[in-house]
Structure 1
């Protein structure tokens, strides 16, 4: 074949290729423009969806609650997401501060001191809450059994203490909401709310946890019994509707049965004869202290028990260190002789059968943690043996082993541990099996167990009666769906242009 013929064939082949290229719609400027615009639109759609729904930098609101207990006051600082305020934002504790000195009820003779004692902790709150949030941050003070007793004994002194506290708290840049005495029922119920809120049992409708609270002047038990409608002893019943679930809560507060007041009850019972010396099985062997008789009867819990005979000014309080005898002495502070209901705890107070797990906090935790007895999987007999050994430990040895603990607190751990075990088993009717359902707790997910969080949640309406509406998709799911739909639209667009796709043709052969 001649070279000219080959050149003609090559020119013809190149011409056909140019013709095919010219007829290919993908090489059309309009098609290219439409494709580019489509891709840009899809990218823009996904970008806008991501940016519009991207979580913003978190902003918070704050709340402050002062727990004015009988033995001390503590400040708790809480925060929650500002954009989820009212019904959905989860509240967390970010700081706590123990006020130096005794509880505010101890300042009855010098009320101004009660207000001054709060200054240091409140200054910490000023530093921790952003300045832009100061004026909108609610500040509450709730007083418990110590102020209940003072109010019973001297109402005017109680008012003066509250006036001093109010004057001090109003000097800080927060939204002060007032100070008040909580009823025992409120203290128990709000403690139950706190425990179950922190454990996410309320918003998920899970089986709830009971609450056991022990302070210096009172103790509370709260739980949801089975088959309980609240009609038997209605004063011990509280009804909640939280997150769309109804709860009929049994709760009772025993004033004068906190560990400090029970110690006075026990000592007053053992010194009715007005003796000058008392050998106490609830204190370590070798322990000795001089106590004033007047201190035993200066509270409403024991004033009615004061003997009519003239008492000496003081008595010598020594330890004998015998757990079994201590427990027998402590059983006498309870009255098990009467019950006008289907079932009682003590002192004729109605209590339905125990139900579910329990969280025991406040003094329950601190005492049992010191004694290394927070593990309730250990049989009760083992717990009793441990207390028997500890109470029998010589006082000098106890001091030597715990040099950093104040002598007052250290001296009372044998008594307090024995009282806790007696209260739980003899008072509240916990058995060998149900005792295992108790968990001694200080905090849940970083927040202290106690009534303060439940109190603030109630006053700020942070827990809705009905379950809040949840978004149909989480953020990540939303972005995934938008991306998938965008790709699907692009695929449909490509397929719809199939008629314009280039058709395959046989390439000419070069000979």
Structure 2
């Protein structure tokens, strides 16, 4: 019920604060032109005051659907968030780069979840939106466009309400900001109108995002200009440090560590790594392309040589904000959470709090006992070593930095999707 209270407060602020847009830049995705717009639907007196929003997250490794249910309890009251229906399919849209019709079919199948959740009489009032992330950003433009055109066709046939900008690719900056909004909204930090927010770390398949509210002006002054996003929200101006590293998601980092990124002769080349079990040799697919990968038959394997491999991917490619050497709390999700579960670092049903050093220690154990963890994933050593390297050598976190690993916050998925739904409410002006 906590998120219901928060949403009531947030929507009240939207209505009453007369939010003004921040300076128009590509880093200001939130609440432009929000004056006197209420995200409510007027109903006949005897009708159920429930409405819905459907958000698709088309990531590099899977496509997810979020169906949000909102309730307006009284005619003169603002609605509250009631629940979320979530479902996902693999692989992601980018795997269908040469078969866009099949990519559209995956979205069509997921729409069945929305049709089962949303009553038929509400379909024409329920907005459906899809935003693609790194998977499509990494594709050639014409292939990405063909996939999005198929999705648009599926949407147009769906009988739901389809906004004019319902299908598109989200830039990495907005992805980071909206995930930060989601997590801080669900944890109550935005509702409390406090500067005591939490940072967010999102590790996808194709890209990774870091977003936090700097406590020190030195952090802002020392950061590249395009790493600082400024926007007005709830009568407060926020200046976030946020950046998306395309090509540094977990799966894309595997390609880089293997030396397979952009390689030719894939039909005969085998990409070996000391991060993989010695006798391992299999085909591995990412982004619609299949690679032959193996462990090293001769030479060393284990944590140390593996760490050297992933360090070449991270070193010099990731900016280190000054104050990350402090004690700020970060919420980490997506593959941070998944790999921590796979390695036994946390319980998958509860999540948990860890320190950065815990990733390093568990990575050492996994890499030095690869045969023990091979059935979980032959890539687990590489993934854990990469996460450790990204946190320490990339972002520059101290070993005692606390990370809250989570999949859901208050029973809502930790992702940018809810923040994006809020962002669309003010654009749609639903009545």
Larger proportion of strand: 2
Cα shift at 1:273: 13
RMSD: 3.2
Q: Which residue pairs with 1:89 in the alignment?
A: 79
* 2:390 aligned counterpart, secondary structure: helix
CA distance in 2, matches of 1:106, 1:298: 4
* 1:461 aligned counterpart, secondary structure: helix
8 Å contact kept, 2:65–2:86: yes
The change in CA–CA distance for 1:134 and 1:334 in structure 2 (over 3 A counts) is same
Residue 240 of structure 1 pairs with residue 231 of structure 2: yes
Cα shift at 1:249: 0.7
For 1:427, which of 362, 381, 394 is the aligned residue?
A: 394
CA distance in 2, matches of 1:271, 1:288: 20
8 Å contact kept, 1:286–1:394: no
* 1:169 aligned counterpart, secondary structure: helix
CA distance in 1, matches of 2:261, 2:230: 41
CA distance in 2, matches of 1:146, 1:233: 25
Larger proportion of helix: 1
Per-residue deviation, residues 307-332 of structure 1 (Å, max 9, x unmatched): xxxxxx98661256501221111111
Cα shift at 1:350: 6.4
For 1:202, which of 190, 203, 209 is the aligned residue?
A: 190
8 Å contact kept, 2:302–2:368: yes
Which shows bigger deviation, 276-285 or 423-432? 276-285
Residue correspondence of structure 1 range 19-98 to structure 2 within 5 A:
59-82=49-72, 89-98=79-88
Residue 223 of structure 1 pairs with residue 188 of structure 2: no
CA distance in 2, matches of 1:254, 1:242: 26
Cα shift at 1:287: 1.9
For normalisation by structure 2, the TM-score amounts to 0.76
CA distance in 2, matches of 1:138, 1:421: 40
CA distance in 2, matches of 1:85, 1:442: 34
> If you compute each CA radius of gyration, which structure gives the higher value, 1 or 2?
1
* 1:257 aligned counterpart, secondary structure: coil
Per-residue deviation, residues 402-456 of structure 1 (Å, max 9, x unmatched): 5xxxxxxx1212211111111011101111222xx21111000000001111111
Q: Which residue pairs with 2:294 in the alignment?
A: 317
The change in CA–CA distance for 1:202 and 1:385 in structure 2 (over 3 A counts) is closer
Cα shift at 1:288: 2.3
CA distance in 1, matches of 2:403, 2:126: 36
Cα shift at 1:120: 2.2
8 Å contact kept, 1:76–1:93: no
Unaligned runs of 5+ in 2: 1-45, 347-351
The change in CA–CA distance for 1:318 and 1:62 in structure 2 (over 3 A counts) is same
8 Å contact kept, 2:131–2:167: yes
Structure 1 residue ranges, 4+ long, deviating more than 6 angstroms after superposition: 84-87, 269-276, 295-299
* 2:189 aligned counterpart, secondary structure: coil
Q: Which residue pairs with 2:36 in the alignment?
A: none
8 Å contact kept, 1:362–1:442: yes
Q: Which residue pairs with 2:131 in the alignment?
A: 142
Unaligned runs of 5+ in 1: 1-55, 300-312, 337-345, 403-409, 463-511
Q: Which residue pairs with 2:381 in the alignment?
A: 414
Cα shift at 1:388: 2.2
Cα shift at 1:399: 5.1
Residue correspondence of structure 1 range 303-452 to structure 2 within 5 A:
317-318=294-295, 321-336=301-316, 346-347=317-318, 349=319, 351-354=321-324, 356-374=328-346, 375-377=352-354, 380=357, 383-395=359-371, 397-398=372-373, 402=376, 410-434=377-401, 437-452=402-417
8 Å contact kept, 1:211–1:359: yes
Cα shift at 1:88: 5.0
Which shows bigger deviation, 167-176 or 443-452? 167-176
For 2:418, which of 437, 453, 456 is the aligned residue?
A: 453
User: What is the aligned residue count?
Assistant: 365
* 2:148 aligned counterpart, secondary structure: helix
CA distance in 1, matches of 2:68, 2:425: 12
CA distance in 2, matches of 1:157, 1:199: 38
Per-residue deviation, residues 140-185 of structure 1 (Å, max 9, x unmatched): 00000111111xx2x2222211111111122212112220100010
Cα shift at 1:194: 0.5
Q: Which residue pairs with 2:249 in the alignment?
A: 258
The change in CA–CA distance for 1:329 and 1:81 in structure 2 (over 3 A counts) is same
CA distance in 2, matches of 1:97, 1:443: 13
Cα shift at 1:237: 1.6
The change in CA–CA distance for 1:419 and 1:130 in structure 2 (over 3 A counts) is same
